[in-house]
A = this chain, B = another copy of it.
Amino acid sequence: MALEHAILVSLTERAGSGYELAHRFDRSIGFFWPATHQQIYRVLRRMDEAGWVTHTEVAQEGRPDKKVYQVSATGRDELARWLAEPVDPAVLRDGLAVKIRGASLGDTAAVLREVVRHRGEHAALLEVYHGIRRRDFPKPAKLSGRELHQYLVLRGGIRAEESFLAWCDEVIEAMRSEQS
């Protein structure tokens, strides 16, 4: 329902091919709206048929040709329409929480090791976010418009990862002192 709109936002920032979009999704907008390249190709074609985007075939040397997509006037209208509409609150699907809840029905120590592993992954992602922040937004107080909005979304990612990390620490501590 909203992958279309995530693509419209990304394509408005910069035109690009499905392949490029898939990579942007892997390292920015996809942190909040994950999508694989197959989804993106399929949705792009649908959007093209609906007239929300247009494409230009670009021949390349030594590389396969590509289709560079651009948002059309209809697409901009559709995006504006969607932006004014309510969205469902964020959905979280967390297998680790299910495991922690069921920990005593299996190997509690293994679940604890899994929490430690997740802690590492969240710490790594937090570092990625901090890196983007330093590189792209060195002076946050001066931002406005699109840059401010991109920064605010990044702040959401940073907050979410910090909160995950702190939760993992709380779980690790509580489960460790329980076992000893």
Tallying the copies of this chain within the complex gives: 2
Report the bound CA distance from A146 to B175 in whole Å. Answer: 11
Tell me if B114 and A87 are in contact (CB < 8 A): yes
Q: Nearest Cβ in chain B — how far from A168, in angstroms?
A: 9
Q: A89: which B residues are within 8 A, CB to CB?
A: 96, 118, 121-122
Majority secondary structure of chain A interface residues (helix, strand, loop or mixed): helix
Q: How large is the interface on A (under 10, 10 to 19, 20 to 34, 35 or more residues)?
A: 35 or more
Report the bound CA distance from A173 to B68 in whole Å. Answer: 37
Chain A residues packing against B (C-beta within 8 Å): 2, 5-6, 8-9, 12, 29, 31-34, 76, 79-84, 86-107, 110-111, 114, 117-118, 121-122, 144-146, 148-150, 152-153, 155-156, 159-160, 162-164, 166-167, 170-171, 174-175, 178
